[in-house]
Amino acid sequence: PIYPNQQLLQHLGTLAVMLPVVFDLRSKVLSRSAILGITVFAFIHVIGARYIYSYVPYNEWSIYLTGLDIQDFFQFDRNHYDRFIHFSFGLLILPYTRDLVKRYFGITKTVAVLVIAWLFIQTFSMFYELFEWSLTVFMTENMAENYNGQQGDIWDAHKDMALAMLGSTISLFLFGFRQKTINE
C-alpha cells in the first residue's frame, strides 16, 4: 500500500459493508441481489482502500487490457475511482436497503419500500461525507486529503453525494421496472 498507516481506517469500511452478509448467513433475510450488490461493492472498495482511492491505477489497467486511455478519452484531470465508488454505493447497496426496509419496517408496498431504501442511500451518503469532513479536524491536512480523495476539488462532497444519488436512482428504476414486469 502507498499509505500503510491508513490501511486500518480504509478497510474499516470494508468490514462494515461485509458484516450484513456475515450476519445473514443464519437468518437468510437478504435476497441474492442484495448479497451480490454488497459483495461487488466490497470488492471494489477493497481495491480503492488498497491504493487509497486517489491512486487506483485504473487508467493504467485500461491501457494495458484494452489500449484505451480513459483519462485522455474523457479528458479527466484527476483520478475518478472515488467517484466510481460513490456511484457504485448508490447502485449496488439499494437492494440491501430494500431488503432491510421490508424486513424491519414491515412495509409491503413496493413503491414505498423502494423510495425509503432510496432515501436511506441519500442519508447515509450525507452522513459519510460529514464523517469525512470530521476527519479533517483530527488528521493532518495531508492525511485528510489522501483519505478523503478530494484531489483539490472543493465540491468533492457534493459530487460524491450526487453520484450516490444517481446510482441509487438508476437502481430504483431497475428494481421498479423488474417488479412491474414480474407483477404483470
Which of 16-30, 87-101, 134-148 is least confident? 134-148
Under DSSP, is residue 150 helix (H, G, I), strand (E, B) or coil?
coil
Q: Report the alpha-carbon distance of residue 53 to residue 56 in Å, rounded.
A: 6
All three cell numbers of 1, joined, read: 500500500
pLDDT band at 184 (very low <50, low <70, confident <90, very high): very low
Residue type, 113: V
pLDDT band at 64 (very low <50, low <70, confident <90, very high): very high
Q: What angle is formed at CA 22 by the lines to CA 19 and CA 27, rounded to 5 degrees?
A: 120
Which of 84-93, 112-121, 133-142 is least confident? 133-142
Mean pLDDT, residues 25-44: 88
Q: Quote the pLDDT of residue 103.
A: 81
